[in-house]
Amino acid sequence: MATPLSYPSSDPHMFPICSRDNWLSLTVSMEGFLTSCSPSVNPKIEKPEDMVKTGVLARFQNFLRKCLIAVISYGPMPNHIAFIMDGNRRYAKCRSIQQGAGHRVGFFAVVANLLYCYEMGVKYMTVYAFSIDNFKRDPKEVQSLMQLMEEKINEVLEKQSVIDKLNCKVNFWGNLELLREPARLAAQKLMASTAGNTGPVLSVCIPYNSTSEIVNAVSEVCAERREMLQGERDGDCNGQAANSGVHPEISVADLDRHMYSAGCPDPDIVIRTSGETRLSNFLLWQTTFSHLQNPDTLWPDFSFRHLVWAVLQYQRAYPHLEQNRNLAKKQL
């Protein structure tokens, strides 16, 4: 792995966190987190010891960010933001670094944006990490992505990552059966160990296709119906035929329950970086009333200011979105 990465001088991802001694106190309250006068952290650097940087400039940036968040919080804030992380390879090509390293920088961007979202009060964040279609790509690249995933999950499990400090609940949405054994086990272990956490919710879609999610939900609903009918027939001694007509019809709520995203609210904003305007089989069922945005930035460059701009655009469109959402609640 160890290709030295050349970071741009104005690092978009400097994020202030308490010094290492106080990291545990982060989880106590969000107010403490925001108001602490803290040294800045560069999450791109691998070793925890190197992550802490102090500086007046960093504190000033911290202060500015808090002011900006306070200002935009006057408007309606989204509860759930979904990201389609497009542009890692193009980023690597632009910066003349190895392609695998582009995905690593992309991972750091995930962590940074998770922290920004948490600071803004956005509780749910979903990222489209790997599509089932991506298995058809170059095997070396697929393998490097899987290795990256395993490595990062193990880091979180060993309590060495920033994600763990946030008391973050991590979900993996997707058909985990398609992953290799070690990756699948690591993912399941992480989901189990963070199931009780009450902090921000990070949902990683890997390997995910919205169409296969819907098919999965449909087959589960059909199986459930069949078992329900079976149970009734077995329990019903006299065999009254009229019983079969009494069942309520399958509805949207039934399918919602069996989606991978059951329990999570629908995304308010879907951001696809690198300027492409398509959903690529991502959360088709859940994004009916989401605000779609496609900034031209590549994913590793997506930083705080882009997120603020995204939220501002959402706030502009909010009245109309709310109206349509309320209307739709009464319908299918």
Partner 1 sequence: MYISRLYIYMFPRAYITQNWQHIHHLGLSRNTTRLPCLDRMAGKQNDLAEALVRSGLRAELMPQHVALVLDGNRRWAQARGFTTPEGHEAGGVALRKIVELSCAFGIRAVTVFGFSQENFRRPQASSHSSIRSMISVLTEEVDYIMELIERLIRDNMDLFMREEIQVHVVGDPSRRPASLQDAAREAEEMTRSHSRYHLILAICYSGRWDIVQACRELATKVQDKLLRPDDIDESMLAGHLATNVLGDQLGCPDLLIRTSGELRLSNFLLWQSAYSELYFTDTLWPDFGEDEYIKALKAFQSRERRFGQRKVM
328 is a contact residue toward partner 1 (CB under 8 A): yes
The span from the CA of 242 to the CA of 39, in Å, is: 71
Q: Which stretch binds partner 1 (CB under 8 A): 32-40, 107-115, 116-124, 125-133?
A: 125-133
Structure tokens at 160: 């060495």
Residue from 33, 108, 124, 128 that binds partner 1 (CB under 8 A)? 128
Q: CA-to-CA distance for 259 and 216, rounded, in angstroms?
A: 8
**Chosen residue from 145, 153, 186, 187 binding partner 1 by CB under 8 A:** 145
CB of 329 to partner 1, least distance (A): 10
**152 binds partner 1 per the rule CB under 8 A:** no
| Position among 171, 293, 297, 303 found at the interface with partner 1 (CB under 8 A) | 293
Give the count of beta carbons closer than 10 Å to the beta carbon of residue 213: 25
Q: State yes or no: residue 146 binds partner 1 (CB under 8 A).
A: no
169 φ, ψ to 5°? Answer: -95, 125
Strand-by-strand arrangement of the 15-16 sheet: 15-16, 40-41, 52-53
| Strands ordered across the beta sheet of 169-173 | 169-173, 201-205, 124-128, 80-84, 269-272, 291-293
Q: Is 249 in the site for partner 1 (CB under 8 A)?
A: yes
Residue from 34, 157, 284, 308 touching partner 1 (CB under 8 A): that is 284
Nearer to partner 1, 171 or 287 (CB): 287
Binding segment for partner 1 among 7-15, 37-45, 65-73, 129-137 (CB under 8 A)?
A: 129-137
Dist CA 231 CA 194 (whole Å): 35
Rounded Cα–Cα distance for residues 161 and 190 (Å): 13
Q: What minimum distance in Å lies between the beta carbon of 272 and partner 1? A: 8
Q: Is 266 among the catalytic positions?
A: no
What is the greatest pairwise CA distance in the chain? 81
Do the beta carbons of residue 215 and residue 187 sit within 8 Å?
Answer: no
Task: By CB under 8 A, name the one of 176, 178, 191, 214 that touches partner 1.
Answer: 214
Among 68, 176, 191, 221, binds partner 1 (CB under 8 A): 221
Q: Which of 71, 251, 257, 309 binds partner 1 (CB under 8 A)?
A: 251
Contacts of 321 (CB under 8 A, 6+ apart): 268, 289, 291, 314
Kindly identify the residues of this chain, within the stretch 48-107, that bind partner 1 according to CB under 8 A: 84-86, 88-89, 103
Q: Given the structure tokens 């065999």, which residue do they identify? A: 239
Instruction: Give CA–CA dist 227/257, Å, rounded.
Output: 16
Using only the alpha carbons of the chain, give its radius of gyration: 22
- Is residue 265 within 8 Å of 283, Cβ to Cβ? no
Q: Which of 86, 266, 268, 301 is catalytic?
A: 86
Query: Residue 52 CB, nearest distance to partner 1 (Å)?
Result: 31
Our CB check for partner 1 shows the closer of 11 and 232 to be 232
Which residue from 20, 93, 257, 278 is in contact with partner 1, where contact means CB under 8 A? Answer: 278
As annotated, the active-site residues are: 86
The residues of the shown chain that bind partner 1, judged by CB under 8 A, are: 84-86, 88-89, 103, 128, 130-134, 136-137, 145, 210-212, 214-215, 218-223, 225-226, 229, 249-252, 255, 272, 276-282, 284-285, 287-293, 317, 320-321, 324, 327-328, 330-332
